[in-house]
Each structure stands twice: as structure tokens, then as C-alpha cells.
DNA sequence: TATTGTTATACTCTATAACTATA
DNA sequence: TATAGTTATAGAGTATAACAATA
């Protein structure tokens, strides 16, 4: 018994679909867990990530996060209440509101990003550099294909500035 | 201009962390979108996936999904209300309740799984079989490492029976 | 006493619809 | 009229705490 081509155990003989689903859940859960240690949800973390180098309007935030404007209102409300972001009136358009991070918001976002990078580093530590490069290439190819395809999902930006 | 080693565009020069985060969001969003077409959330889809070959108690469902028992109560309430699952009293333990899918629940779950597999197939269609095999190996290695590590997250089972 | 499950409560996240103010 | 944003409302999803029934 125990033929080497018939593995046993929880990950035995995963097919591509299962492997990608599990990997996706793993990364997603990892981010949720690390963000949660700072009382941040994934969407709050992404909000702070987007604001790292921009001060978009509520409307732009809606497009970047793929959410309705009313959802953005609540999201920004809760973040503002915690002192993580601020609303400022637009100089050009008196209807518009710009959102920016505070120092506290930037600090939190940086902590989550650092912890996330470290954890991903641990999870991929067993892969040789050439394999890591291949993994990047595969992921990039899949992402590119999803863009060229139909839907072209709302917005996929790097890392924590990416869509949930 | 346009040196070939300095790419431009949205996915230019992704590092491993960004690539994995984006891939994770892509797969997660894909599943959410396809499940949503049937009015199913990811967690509802996973519930039905788990019940495909089991009739666990509420308690066991909590462990499998990594959720509190009170969350399971609500989750099963909503699924039961839609006729996707049923509660049945346990014969052994009169405190316990077993949950099972209905034919409608199984049909919905199967439709989502089929669509998800098809979409993953599209996204990976550009990869040669040998590259697909490598991708499976990388994902499997990362998942195994996450298990051997500390936390050993709640429960990672194949595909739609896996943790959110 | 410990365990199983439900209920009450509270909060985040999301959307739709209605509304205000500005363009 | 059209757009930017907020608010009211509704519902899913999650957790904590208190409870009832059973072990």
C-alpha cells in the first residue's frame, strides 16, 4: 500500500480548481486575520491602502472599491469616527468631498501591510526563487486574462489597494 | 524608450505579495460573482458544499466553517427559509440537530461549482499543462505550510467546502 | 457541571430609493 | 437635467452574552 502517486491527507491530489480556491481562501483569511488584529476589516484596510497616495472623492472611491456611493458613505463614516480618515470639501466642485488618511490611518495600514508581507514570505519560504518567479508569472497571466476578458472587474490594483 | 525589462501597465513588475493578493482577490471575486447569480453568498455556497456529502450537527458546522454557533444558527435559518437545507433531530443526542441539503440546495451548489470550474479553466487556459501542474504544486506547498505553522486555521477543505 | 443550540442584541457591510445641494 | 453625496431602510453576516434543554 501507499503508492507514491496516490497521496493521502487533506491536500491529496488537489486539482487546479481546488488548489486555486484553497490558495485564495488562505491568502484572504490571512489578510483578514492580520487586519483584524488592528480592528480593521479587509475593506477598511483597502480603503486606507488606496488613500496612501491619493485623496479621491467619494465617487472615485466607489469606483476604486467597486461599491455603491451609499456604501462608501458608511465606510468613510466609520473610518472617520475612528480618526483614520478625514473628509475635506473640494475646491473645484462644491458638491464633491475628498477623503484623506490621517497619521493614525497610515500607521495602521503600514502595520497591516508589513505583517501581511511577512506572512506571505513565510508561506512561500519553501519555494526556490525561480519557483517564486514562476508563481508571479502565473498569477500575472491569470490577472491579465481576467482583464482582457468580458467583465473587467471593477478595480484590481496592487495588494491592499485591490478589490475584495 | 520602452525597455523590455521595465514593464508598464497595471500589472507591471508585481512582486510576490502583490501577485498573490491580486490572484486571491480575483478568485474570491469570481466565486462571489458566480454564486451571486444564484442569490448565494460565498458562505452559503460553502455551507451547501459541505453538506454535499455530510449531515453535520450545528456544532460541527461551526468548526467546519470557523464560525460561532450563533452565526451558524442564522446561516442555517436563512438557508432553511429558502428551502436549501433542512434541520433534523439527532437520534443519539437529543440536544443536537443535523443539517442536510435539499434537492434544490444540491442543484444550486452544483451549478455554482460547474460555473466556477469553467471560469477557472478560462483563466488558466493560457498556461501549459506543465505550468498548471507547477501552479498546483506551489499552492499545495503554501497550504501545507500554513497548516504546519502555528494557527492552523479553522478548516481548509477542497474548494467550495473551504473556509472563507 | 458541561455541552448543544437558540435568542437577544449590536455592529459592519452592502444595496436601493429618496432627498439635498450643486453643476 | 444630471451629478455628488447623505440618509433612511432593509438584509446578510458576524460575535458576545444569556438562556433552555439535555447529557
Q: Which of residues 45-104 of A touch strand D (CB under 7 A)?
A: 57-60, 69-70, 72-74, 76-77, 87, 90, 93, 95-98
Mean pLDDT to the nearest integer, B1-22: 72
Question: Which bases of chain C are contacted by protein, using any atom under 7 A from a CB?
Answer: 3-9, 12-18, 21-23
A vs B, Cβ pairs < 8 A, gives: 183
Better-predicted residue by pLDDT, A129 or B5? A129
The reported pLDDT for the residue numbered B148 is: 86
The reported pLDDT for the residue numbered A152 is: 45
Binning pLDDT at 50, 70 and 90, where does residue B9 land? low
Better-predicted residue by pLDDT, B10 or B139? B139
Output DSSP code: residue A89.
E
- Separation in Å: D14 C1' and A79 CA: 19
Cell numbers that stand for B87 in this block: 434541520
Domains and CATH numbers, chain B: 16-151 (1.10.10.10)
The reported pLDDT for the residue numbered A44 is: 98
Cell numbers that stand for B92 in this block: 443519539
Is the CB of B22 less than 8 angstroms away from the CB of A159? yes
Residue A73, nucleotide of least CA–C1' distance: D6
Q: Which residues of chain A have pLDDT under 70?
A: 1-11, 150-164
Closest Cα in chain B to A159: B18
Is the dihedral angle over the CA atoms B65, B71, B77, B78 positive or is it negative?
A: negative
In whole angstroms, what is the distance from residue B103 CA to residue B84 CA? 8
The reported pLDDT for the residue numbered A149 is: 74
- The string of DSSP codes covering B84-119 is SEEEEE-SS-TT-EEEEE-HHHHHHHHHHHHHHHHH
CB B66 within 8 A of CB B163: yes
The three-class DSSP label of residue B46 is: helix
In whole angstroms, what is the distance from residue A58 CA to residue A46 CA? 14
Q: What is the 3 state secondary structure string of B23-59?
A: HHHHHHHHHHHHHHCCCCCHHHHHHHHHCCCCCCEHH
Binning pLDDT at 50, 70 and 90, where does residue B10 land? low
In whole angstroms, what is the distance from residue B117 CA to residue B159 CA? 10
pLDDT digit string, tens, across residues B96-150:
999 999 999 999 999 999 999 999 999 999 999 999 999 999 999 999 999 887 5
Amino acid at each position: 500500500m501507499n503508492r507514491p502517486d496516490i497521496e493521502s491527507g487533506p491536500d491529496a491530489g488537489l486539482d487546479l480548481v481546488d488548489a486555486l480556491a484553497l490558495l485564495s481562501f488562505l491568502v484572504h483569511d490571512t489578510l483578514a486575520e492580520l487586519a483584524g488584529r488592528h480592528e480593521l476589516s479587509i475593506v477598511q484596510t483597502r480603503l486606507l491602502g488606496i488613500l496612501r497616495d491619493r485623496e479621491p472623492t467619494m465617487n472615485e472611491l466607489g469606483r476604486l472599491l467597486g461599491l455603491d456611493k451609499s456604501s462608501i458613505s458608511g465606510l468613510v463614516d466609520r473610518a472617520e469616527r475612528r480618526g483614520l480618515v478625514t473628509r475635506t470639501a473640494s475646491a473645484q466642485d462644491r458638491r464633491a468631498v475628498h477623503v484623506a488618511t490621517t497619521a493614525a490611518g497610515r500607521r495602521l495600514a503600514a502595520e497591516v501591510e508589513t505583517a501581511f508581507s511577512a506572512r506571505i514570505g513565510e508561506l512561500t519560504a519553501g519555494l526556490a526563487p525561480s519557483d517564486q518567479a514562476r508563481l508571479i508569472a502565473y498569477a500575472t497571466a491569470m490577472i491579465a486574462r481576467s482583464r482582457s476578458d468580458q467583465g473587467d472587474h471593477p478595480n484590481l490594483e496592487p495588494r491592499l489597494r485591490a478589490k475584495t
